[in-house]
Amino acid sequence: MEMIASFDGTKLAVHREVSRAGGGRPVLLLHGLFSSAWMNWINFGHAQTLVDSGFEAIMPDLRAHGESAAPHDPAAYPHDVLVRDVKAVVEALGLEDYDLVGFSLGARTAVSCVLAGMAPRRLVLCGMGLEGLSGWARRAAFFIDAIDRFDAVKQGDPAYLAVSFMKTMKVDRAAARLLLQAVDDVERQDLSRITMRTAVICGDRDRDNGSPQDLTMALPDGRYREIPGTHMSCVTKPELGQAIARFLSD
């Protein structure tokens, strides 16, 4: 793991896995909300699957997540801060020929990165549907409410799973609350600008972010791949890493 200074000096933890022989096409993997590189990509073997398929896995912890810094200053969360962080990682590592993968919030961020000018060879959007790219204010409000009621949320409350996951991940709630307000919507018409081959990979019981089939159809070169699981459980299954590796290897 190495620490990289982002555009404003905030330290971002970047985890890397590569074969003993070294080399391999870099794959930049962006984790989901309240998660981390370790939880999303390393713990369940997806990074190792990519390494075994000849890739180098590069996995930043997003700002306010994992081992990255979690500043409490509102000024540290400007418009599209996650996109600016990802760009800083790409520049710091000198990545030019690479693939980009995101899960849930990471998928939203990956789409925004491409719309902001990043040009990966291939793009993979996991746990994402068309509706999940817009209407962020409503989704953010749900999580902000969960943070604000954190100690009062009991089993049976709609926010219970979110609070339980935040507890598991030891999320810095003050920083997470600020970050939730710095994410922007993606408009459907802008998806026509994503011209690289793109895989939409989603669990067969995952519609948390809307229809993955509709997202696939809205992309100029989209390919849909279904794997087992819900939004949360699909991350624990080997099929996720296998589907990513197959698509990037084709």
- The CATH code of the domain that includes 124 is 3.40.50.1820
Domain contains 140: no
Percentage above 90 pLDDT, the chain: 94
Within the chain, residue ranges assigned H as helices are 37, 46-52, 81-93, 105-115, 136-148, 160-169, 173-180, 212-218, 238-249
- Within a domain: residue 151? no
Asked, for residue 173, whether it belongs to a domain, the answer is no
- Residue-level pLDDT at 21: 76
**Of 229, 201, 215, 216, which is closest to residue 103 (Cα–Cα)?**
201
Q: Which tens digit of pLDDT belongs to each residue from 104-118?
A: 999 999 999 999 999
Contacts of 72 (CB under 8 A, 6+ apart): 174, 175, 178
- 163 in any annotated domain: no
- At 51, which amino acid appears? V
Residue 57 has phi, psi (to 5 degrees) of -90, 120
| Segments forming the whole domain that contains residue 114 | 2-134+186-249
* Tally of domains in the chain: 1
Domain contains 207? yes
Tokens of 228: 């087992």
The verdict on residue 91 lying in a domain is: yes
| pLDDT tens readout for residues 147-170 | 999 999 999 999 999 999 999 999
**Nearest alpha-carbon partner for 124 in 36, 51, 48, 196:** 196
Residue 159 lies in a domain: no
229 is a domain residue? yes
